[in-house]
Amino acid sequence: MEKPSLPKGTRDFGPQVMARRLYLISAIRSVFEKYGFQPIETPALEHLSTLLGKYGEEGDQLLFRILNSGNFLKDAPHELLDAADYRKLSGFISEKGLRYDLTVPFARYVVMNRNEVAMPFRRYQIQPVWRADRPQKGRYREFYQCDADVVGTDSLLCEAEIVMMINEVFSKLGIEQYSIKINHRNLLNRLALETGAGNRETDLFVALDKLDKIGRNGVLKELAARGFAPGTGNRLFGFIDASSQPDGLQQLQKLFPDCRGIDELNRILELLNLAGELTEKVQFDLSLARGLTYYTGCIFEVKIYNVAVGSVCGGGRYDNLTQAFGSKEKLSGVGISFGIDRLYDALEELRLFPEAARTTARVLVCHFDEATFKHGLKLVCDLRRQGVASELYPEITRLKKQLDYANKKTIPFVAVLGPEEISRNVVTLKNMATGVQEQIAITELAEKLKW
C-alpha cells in the first residue's frame, strides 16, 4: 500500500495551528457580531449554472466540477465521446461545482430568501472555498474566506463602520502598526478623465496598481509601453502628488470640483471623525486601484507594517449584487474580506498569538499505580468541574512516559500524585516550561491553574 498523501494545494491543520486559527476566527466573528452582522453558511456544492459566468473565463476554468452520480455518461452525446471533446462533454457529465468564493453564494442566498431577509442585510460568512489554481507559496486550492457585507443601502455609514470594524479586529489581535488605505472608484474615473486617459481607464489603473512593486519609473515605462500619450504619466503623478499632501483630499477637491467620489470620501471621514476613529491609520490613497471590474464606490485595502504578507484585508462598494441572478431590484452593497491565511502568518511573524490560543489541557495528572490512578481520576473530575481543562494519563506506566506525553503535547503543567502527596492532600505541580516544582494543596489547585 502506497503512503497516503494530500491532494496538492490542500492542507491538514494540526492541533496547534487549529487552536490559533480558531482564536483568529473567533476574534473576527465577535467583532462582526458586535456590529450587527449575522452569520450564514451556504453549501460547498452549487449548481454549475449558479457559478459559471460569474468569475470570468479564467474563473470558470478554475472551478472544481463534481462528476454526476451513477452513470454519468447516460446523457453524453456519442459524438462528443468519439471526438474526446472534453470542453463540451463536461456540461453533460457534471452539473455541480465547488464554491469558488462567498460572494456569488451570498447573492444566490439573497435572491432565494429575499422575503425573509431584513434589509439592509448585514451578513458575514466564514467558510472554505476551492480553486483549481496552480498551487504556490501562499496560494492554496482550498482556503478560507471571511467576508462581511451590508447590502440594500447606499448609506456611507456602512463604509465608516467597516473601517471601525477593521480597527477593532486589529486592536483585539494586538496589531498596532497598519494602514487602512481608502480610495473611490468614481474619483479614479475622474482621475483618468483629467489625465486624458478617460477611455482607457483599466489599462491606466492596471499600470498604476503596480506602483508598490515597480516604482514610479516602472509605471511610467509601462504606460509608454501600453501606448499612452506622452505626458499621461506625469499628469497622473502630478495629481497623485497633490493628493499625497496631508490635506490631499481638499487639494484634489479644488482640482476636481463636483466629484461624487470626493464627496463620499469626505462623508466617510466625517463619520469616522464623529465616531472618534479618524486616526493616522486611515489613509486616503489615490493610487489604490483594486477590483476595477467589480467595485463601483469606495475601496479599501489594509496592510500591516513590518511583515512580508501583503494585503490582509480588502473590500469596497459594489452595485447590483443580485443582478447576475436576474433580480430587477438594484441592491448596492459594501463588503470587506479578511485574508485568514495572511493574517495568521502576520500574527505568527509578529508573535502576537497569545499563550492562551491553545487547546491543550492546562494540566496532566500523573500517577504511579492503580491506587494513585484512582485518586487521579477523582482529581481530574474535580478540576473539570471547576472549569479547568485537565487530563489523566490513561495508562498505568512509568512517570517518564507520562512527562514525555505532556512535553510533546505542550501541556503547561503536570500534577504528580504519589502516595505521599495523597496522604498530605497535595500535589507536586511542575511547570513544564520552567521546570519549577512546588507542592500545592489540592483545594488550591484549580485556582492556581486558571488563566
Could you tell me which of 349, 399, 352, 351 has the C-alpha nearest to residue 372?
399
Q: Confirm or reject binding of residue 321 to a copy of itself (CB under 8 A).
A: no
The reply on whether position 79 binds a copy of itself by CB under 8 A is no
**Contact with a copy of itself (CB under 8 A): which of 59, 92, 94, 348?**
94
How far apart, in whole angstroms, are the C-alpha atoms of residue 349 and residue 287?
28
CB proximity list for 113: less than 8 A, separation 6 or greater = none
Q: If you search the block for the grid coordinates 481638499, which residue do you land on?
A: 250
**Residue 256 per-residue DSSP state:** S
40 to 59, contacts with a copy of itself by CB under 8 A?
A: 40-47, 49-50
How far does Cα 78 stand from its chain's mean position? 45
In whole angstroms, give the CA distance from residue 451 to residue 449. 6
Measured CA to CA, the distance from residue 100 to residue 58 in angstroms comes to: 12
Q: How far is the CB of 67 from a copy of itself (least distance, A)?
A: 4
Residue number, 110 or 197, with CB nearest to a copy of itself? 110
Taking the C-alpha atoms of residue 313 and residue 303, their distance in angstroms, rounded to an integer, is 7
- Please state the closest distance from residue 319 (CB atom) to a copy of itself, in A: 17
Q: Name which of 417, 373, 427 is nearest 396 in CA terms.
A: 373
75 is an interface residue for a copy of itself by CB under 8 A: no
Query: Within positions 151 to 180, which residues make up the interface with a copy of itself, using CB under 8 A?
Result: 153-155, 157-158, 164, 168
Of the candidates 252, 271, 321, 347, which one interacts with a copy of itself according to CB under 8 A?
A: 271
Binds a copy of itself (CB under 8 A): choice among 409, 418, 432, 448:
409
* Other residues' Cβ atoms within 10 Å of the Cβ of residue 381: 12
Residue 96 CB, shortest distance to a copy of itself, in Å, is 5
Nearer of residues 150 and 426 to a copy of itself, judged by Cβ: 150
- What's the min distance (Å) between Cβ of 31 and a copy of itself? 9
Question: Binding to a copy of itself by residue 25, rule CB under 8 A?
Answer: no
The answer to whether residue 387 forms part of the interface with a copy of itself (CB under 8 A) is yes
Is 413 a residue that touches a copy of itself (CB under 8 A)? no
* Residue in this structure with the C-alpha cell 452582522, named with its chain if needed: 37
Residues 192-231 that bind a copy of itself (CB under 8 A): none
* In the complex, least distance from residue 400 CB atom to a copy of itself, rounded to whole angstroms: 14
Which of the 8 DSSP states describes residue 136? B
Alpha carbon distance 290, 259 (integer Å): 19
300 binds a copy of itself (CB under 8 A): no
Question: Is residue 377 near a copy of itself by the rule CB under 8 A?
Answer: yes
The residue from 57, 58, 79, 82 that contacts a copy of itself (CB under 8 A) is 82
Q: Name the strands in the sheet holding 311-318, side by side, starting at the edge strand that comes first in the sequence.
A: 38-39, 121-130, 142-151, 333-338, 311-318, 298-304, 178-184, 282-284
Instruction: Determine, following the binding rule CB under 8 A, whether residue 146 of this chain makes contact with a copy of itself.
Output: no
Number of residues that bind a copy of itself (CB under 8 A): 110
- Contact by Cβ (8 Å): 427, 389: no
- Contact between 11 and a copy of itself by CB under 8 A: the answer reads yes
The least distance separating a copy of itself from the CB of residue 351, rounded to whole angstroms, comes to 22
Q: How far is the CB of 327 from a copy of itself (least distance, A)?
A: 9
User: Is residue 4 within the footprint of a copy of itself (CB under 8 A)?
Assistant: yes
Locate 323 and state its grid cell.
Answer: 443582478
149 is a site residue for a copy of itself (CB under 8 A): no
- Provide the 3-class DSSP secondary structure of residue 282: strand
**Separation between Cα atoms, residue 285 and residue 215, nearest integer Å:** 15
